[in-house]
Structure 1
Amino acid sequence: MGQSLDRAWDRCTEEGFCRCLPVLKQISCWHLGLKNIPSTQSVPNDITHIDLSYNELTTLHRDTFRGLTHLTILDLSRNRLNFLPNDLLLDLDSLSTLRLQENNLQRVDNQLFLKLRSLKILDVSINHLSNALPLELFQSIYHIKVINFSNNKLNKFPLLLEQSELEELDISKNEICAIDNKDLFELKKLKTLRLSENSLAFVSEEKFYNSYKRKPFQKLKEPFDIGFGSKQNPIDASICFSQLEKGLKRLMLFSNNFKYLHSNSFEGLSSLSSLLLNNNNLKDFDADVFSPLISLSKLRLDSNKLQFLPKDCLDNIPKLTKIKLDKNPWHCDCQSIYLARFLRKNFEKLWNGEAGIPLCLGPGELGGKQVSMLRFDHLCYGQWFSMVNLAARVPVKKQTTDAPALFFQQMEILNYQDKKTTLATEKPDFEEDLLR
């Protein structure tokens, strides 16, 4: 038997079209422009690794890998495969990694992975798979750890009830419009879930529970990237991730359609170190939304629709070292005093330094000015006059009267007596700003 295998490897190296590596028990046909598997290519039965990537294969004969029971890695990526026979992988008992990304697959037979009991990594990303995956597709794959179906046209979440060892699932950039609570119930070891750029119209907190009120995301510990909404199906989403495990380190929520953050959105995430909320439609959030994030060091709020920051909202993040706030339509009036003061005190924490300094959208001649350079007299006096915490902008004529006196005169004229307490509390800080 040993001599027979040695002779097979000799034929592989001497006569084969592909590169044979007997010591490693590997064959590489990478980037050879193959449209078919050469009939003269010898493939020893004890081979462990076959690389057929970067070719022009459109299909494979059902017996191509027959008898290769020792094969652990099969790379068929970056071809033109549009069909795979349902028994193509029937003998691959030892296969642990299967790469099918960047092909033209439109469907996957429900029996294709039936015998792959050792499979741990499956990548079928960047294909043309549409509708739902067959229900039986993963029924025998008990030990799989990584599944990637991103960049397809799937409209339903894959059924993964038996994949309790799954650690990473990527089904981003599909057309999934709903998640059922049973879809994630058994994924106890899941660390990374990517659902961004789908068509999820609404996800309520009830989706994260089953009938026993168990929390499917309670074991998540690493990056969690979920997308609600799309350009075709925008939503007004509020979020609550208080059900996630305390061990979660990084939460990636960029490029979605979130508009508001509630006080309990991140409750319990005491170990979170990075929170990316950039490229959303955030207009406002509760002032204490970040208070539970005692380990947070990196925060991105750039490229949203924020006009001001709630007072003291960033003061209870003790480990914050990097923050990005630019590319928001900051309205520079009295409501922006907290933002201006925070930027002056924490300039070294800006993500891109001077390039990341927030700029005023307006009003008037303040448009384009750096928020950090503006003081109380810029923000609360002059061409525009805005009361603290009011949305209305009231134009007034410039006066030569002493600035503080004018401020309280305007307050009385507009009859906003209910704001006196707030203004009295703020006044010492305003005066301090004047002296800086």
Structure 2
Amino acid sequence: MKKSKQLKRAMRLLRLKVILFVIGGSLLMEISNAGAPPPSRPFNHKYRPLDLGPTPFVDEATGQCILSPCDALGRARDELYSILDEKEKVQSQSRTLIGELQQAVVHGKESQDALRKIIQLMEQRIRSLEQSVWTLDKTSSRWNKCSEGPCTCTAETRTVSCWRLDLTFVPRSQNIPHDTKALDMGANRLGTLNKDAFKGMILLNELDLFDNQIEYLPDTVFDSLENLINLKIHKNKLKVLDEKIFIANINLETLDISNNELKEVPVGVFRTLRRLTVLHLSSNKFARLDENLLRGLNQLEDVDLSRNELTELPPLLLDGLTKLKSIKINDNQIKVLPPTLFRGLADVEILQLQNNEIAELPEKIFHDLTSLTQLVLTGNSLVSISPGIFSSLEQLHELHIGGNLLEHLPAGVFTGLERLEKLFILSNNLREIDSEAFTGIPQLLWLALNNNLLTSLPHDVFEPVPKLQRMQLDSNHFMFLPEGTLEPLKNLQYVNLIKNPWHCDCSILYLTRWINEHSDLIWDYQPKCRGPGELGGKSVYTMTFNDVCDGQWMSMMSIKNRVRARVR
């Protein structure tokens, strides 16, 4: 019986190969005639059916046929319909390919890439048909038989793990229980899958195809998985997704297609996924997105579009997705944010836009994000931030605006951030901070101002943030700190002052005294003097009045009039 099934499957596959070979060969011969379009004639290549030999359904022990006439008729009918269905599908696909190929010929040399893609797609379809299929087991001993194969089977949790077995094909020797709930095929070398790879696995909830080399998936490969909840296809080599590939997965909640080579996805590919809550499309090659791509995904809570090639975002891309909690669009090339992009998204808690090219924030861009707790704008091209831009973000705990081009922090720039605890403004071009720049953020615990161009601070600049615990002032251009600058910070636990050109004259004594009184708070106990003279390289905390002032006063007192008085 088993050999018979394998034989029939092989013959059906061979016939399909012949059809595609004849189609492809004929078309390539026509295309080789450069320039002129092919003549119009019916596509009607004939082939001789192969002799399959005697009927294989014979009991070896008795020599008797084991099929009744009705069984034989039914099997013949099913086989015929199956072959006709596959032939019709291949011919339908081939007719589409014929039209595309003919169009490629008309356009000549400019369509060579398109022609190459069409031929590659034909090859991928053939390779997917060559892939083996699991043996689905419904017997009472199914889980014991499952353990006899190369995969690990756990009956208690109904899981099958084929993780990291270096598979290039689905193992023929592996039985899969029909009631499997979780199947892990991650970290293998699968290049494609048969369209029937998961046929009959209607109870499957989790499928992991992570970290393979999958370039192509048949459009019906997931059709049996109507109870699938989590699907992971990340870290593969997918270049295209069929519009109908997820049409049957109506219960899907998590879909990860990140780390592939997708340049676009069909607009309707997610239309049936009404229960989807997590969608990860990061690390692909998207240059643009249709504004209707996410339309109807009203349960979506987490969307990740990071590490693509996006230069713009459609204004209505997130329209209606009112349950969103996390939006990540990091590491793209976005220059402008549409003013209405986040309209109506009152439940969003995390918004990450780091490493783009955003130069300006529209006035009310964050107005509706009243639940936001983390906002990341690191690594953009912001030159300035208008006071009040964050005024509606009353729940914000973290604000990251480092790695921009900010030169000045005006008064009231952080107004409204009553719950802000972490503020990172490192690696900008800051030269000036207004004395009231930090008003309105009384709960601030961590302030990072390192790696800027600051030379001085207003003496009362830290009075609005008395709860501050961590502060980074390193890698600036400070020569001294005004008397009393650090006195309001009674809760400080950590401060970094290194890599500043501290000028050790009389003006450094305030910092020297403060360091000695709070030595346990200093990240690097050795902030160094830049000068003057022999004091360069010495520790700021060792300076004394005699070191920095005595010589200075003596020098001033010994100054003589070097300009000779004019004699009249």
Normalised TM-score (structure 1): 0.75
Query: Does 1:29 find its partner at 2:162?
Result: no
Corresponding position: 1:236 with 2:383: yes
Decide whether aligned partners of structure 1 residues 136 and 316 sit closer, same or farther in structure 2, where only a CA change above 3 A counts: closer
Partner of 2:466: 318
Q: Which residue of 1 aligns with 2:284?
A: 127
Deviations 1:140-187 (A, max 9, x none): 100111111111111123510111110110001101111122101111
Q: Which residue of 2 aligns with 1:62?
A: 219
The one-character-per-residue Cα deviations of 1:315-365 (angstroms, maximum 9, x if unpaired) are 432211111111112234588777666655555444xx217x655666766
Distance (whole Å) between structure 2 residues aligned to residue 261 and residue 379 of structure 1: 33
Q: 1:377 to 1:319 in 2, by over 3 A?
A: farther
The Cα of 1:127 is off from its aligned counterpart by: 1.3
The residue correspondences of 1:24-173 to structure 2 (distance < 5 A) are 24=159, 25-37=181-193, 41-42=197-198, 44-130=201-287, 132-158=288-314, 159-173=317-331
The question of 1:299 aligning with 2:456 is answered: no
Amino acid at match of 1:46: L
* 1:76 positional shift: 0.4
| Mapped partners of 2:375, 2:531: distance in 1 | 36
Deviation at 1:314, TM superposition (A): 2.1
Over the residues paired in the alignment, what is the CA RMSD in angstroms? 3.3
Aligned residues of 2:194 and 2:221 also touching (Cα < 8 A): no
Change (3 A) 1:100 1:371: farther
Of 146, 151, 159, the match for 1:13: 146
Residues of 1 paired with 2:548 and 2:361: CA distance?
40
Q: How many angstroms apart in 2 are the aligned matches of 1:127 and 1:338?
A: 54
CA contact (8 A) 1:176 1:198 kept: yes
Amino acid at match of 1:173: D
Instruction: Give the counterpart of 1:273 among 405, 411, 421.
Output: 421
Give the conservation status (yes or no) of the 8 Å contact 1:52–1:76.
yes
List gaps (5 residues or longer) in structure 2. Answer: 1-135, 160-180, 480-501, 561-568
Aligned to 2:354: 196
Question: Partner of 1:398: helix, strand, or coil?
Answer: helix
Q: Does 1:216 align with 2:348?
A: no
Q: CA, structure 1 residues 78+369, in 2 after alignment: closer, same or farther (shift >3 Å)?
A: farther
Alignment of 1:177 onto 2:335: yes
Q: State the distance in 2 between where 1:272 and 1:257 align.
A: 22
The amino acid of 1:58's aligned partner reads E
SS at match of 1:122: strand
Distance 1:293 1:61, change over 3 A: same
- Cα distance in 2 for partners of 1:40, 1:87 equals 15
* Larger-Rg structure: 2
Letter in 1 for 2:361: V
Q: Give distance in 2, aligned partners of 1:380 and 1:84.
A: 75
TM (normalized to structure 2)?
Answer: 0.59
Q: Which amino acid aligns with 1:101?
A: S
- Segment drifting more, 294-303 vs 71-80: 294-303
Does 58-67 or 332-341 show the bigger shift?
332-341
What is aligned with 1:423?
A: none
Q: Residue 427 of structure 1 aligns with which residue?
A: none
In structure 2, C-alpha distance between the alignment counterparts of 1:68 and 1:106, rounded to whole Å = 26
Distance 1:206 1:49, change over 3 A: closer
Counterpart AA for 2:336: A
Checking the alignment, whether the CA contact within 8 Å between 1:271 and 1:293 is kept in structure 2 is: yes
SS at match of 1:205: coil
Q: Any idea what SS the aligned residue of 2:274 has?
A: coil
Higher RCO (CA 8 Å, separation ≥ 6 residues): 1
Change (3 A) 1:245 1:308: same
